[in-house]
Amino acid sequence: MAKKVAVIGAGVSGLSSIKCCVDEDLEPTCFERSDDIGGLWKFTTTVCSITKRPDFSETGQWDVVTETEGKQNRAVFDAVMVCTGHFLNPHLPLEAFPEPLKSLCTKKIFLYKQVFPLNLERATLAIIGLIGLKGSILSGTELQARWVTRVFKGLCKIPPSQKLMMEATEKEQLIKRGVFKDTSKDKFDYIAYMDDIAACIGTKPSIPLLFLKDPRLAWEVFFGPCTPYQYRLMGPGKWDGARNAILTQWDRTLKPLKTRIVPDSSKPASMSHYLKAWGAPVLLASLLLICKSSLFLKLVRDKLQDRMSPYLVSLWRG
């Protein structure tokens, strides 16, 4: 039986998460407060609460209470993906999750790779899109969702929560002492973060291996732009069209810039084309030469007259 996943929010992060759930044969249900995007999974429900079930330590399941037209409904989900994104203020929907997330938001929450809360004994709650990247947030949330759904299925593992909490606490103390700089509010390097998450999934491309197998593709991957196609070349979610998409990505980039049709330079130009292109400049140059020639001839004539006149006068007198 497929695991049921509650996806909170039908925005960019939520839609990516739904698609990734379907790819992993999970059963997503999306909850969206507004009457906008949501598609087949859309419910204009406000989420009232998300709480752990009594057997959470064994099952990792959550009780989700929603409200539609004044009527409350309760459902059990095997996992929850909170897809409110990074630009919602506050970042976590406090009015939608009074318990237990509201109490968690009163103190600093540590997220493993900006996705999984560290204080949960079962990794069945994930925060998607709560990150600032120096690049496309759409690509980042899609890769996060791919990783999260595989964690939900047990195909990818994360370290024990106790170990992660200990490391996070130690780092926080070092920051308070001034040993480390607090970079929690800084934007993450796009390529480094994407490679990190892709390595967790098993989709990070091996550049040395690519140079041995496909030098042209390796050149484009290493020296070209880092596009999401790279993370579809191998591993889970591999796409056969990824190679061709990478090799032709500059064609799609430059196409919108071609706003007018330029004649093909390989075809021989006609005589009328040359006349239109060079007729006016040649005519102007000819007129300038004629004017200059006339001035030159007049100057020569005047000089000759000045020199010849005294000579002729002397001959006449002699």
Q: Indicate if the pLDDT at residue 283 is higher than 90.
A: no
Helix 137-152 crosses helix 190-201 at what angle (to 10 degrees)? Answer: 20
Cα gap 44→68, rounded to integer Å: 7
**What count of other Cβ atoms lies within 10 Å of the Cβ of residue 241?**
9
Q: Which residue has the higher pLDDT, 97 or 259?
A: 259
Phi, psi of 163, deg, nearest 5: -65, -40
Which SS3 state, helix, strand or coil, does residue 187 take?
coil
pLDDT on residue 89 = 45
31 touches 66 (CB < 8 A): yes
Q: Is the distance from CB of 84 to CB of 129 less than 8 angstroms?
A: yes
- pLDDT bucket at 312, cuts 50 / 70 / 90: very low
Strands 79-82 and 125-127: parallel
The mean per-residue pLDDT over the stretch 173-200 comes to 86
pLDDT tens digit string along 151-179? Answer: 999 999 999 988 888 888 888 888 888 87
* Mean pLDDT value of segment 252-265: 78
Angle formed by the axes of helices 137-152 and 12-23, to 10°?
40
pLDDT bracket for residue 41 (50, 70, 90): very low
Task: Assess contact for 47 and 31: CB atoms under 8 A.
Answer: yes
Over 70: is that where the pLDDT of 39 sits? no
Residue with more model confidence, 103 or 144: 144
Q: Which is nearest to 52 in space by CA: 31, 77, 72?
A: 77
How many of the other CB atoms lie within 10 Å of CB of 172? 15
Q: Which of 159-163, 193-197, 265-269 has the lowest mean pLDDT?
A: 265-269
The per-residue pLDDT for 150 is: 95
> Is pLDDT of 306 > 80?
no
Confidence of residue 147 (pLDDT cuts 50, 70, 90): very high
Q: Residue 119 has what pLDDT?
A: 85
Residues above pLDDT 70, as percent of the chain: 73
Please give the mean pLDDT across all residues of the chain: 80
Q: Out of 67-81, 198-212, 303-317, give the one with best mean pLDDT.
A: 198-212
Task: Provide the token pair at 23.
Answer: 């790819």
pLDDT at residue 36 in the model? 63
Exposure string over 16-39, b if 16+ CB within 10 A, otherwise e: bbbebbeebebebbbbbbeeeebe
Please give the pLDDT value at position 165.
87
What average pLDDT does this structure show over 87-103? 48
Residue 206 binned pLDDT confidence (cut-offs 50, 70, 90): very high
Strands 79-82 and 71-77: unpaired
Prediction pTM value: 0.72
Q: Report the greatest alpha carbon distance in the chain.
A: 142
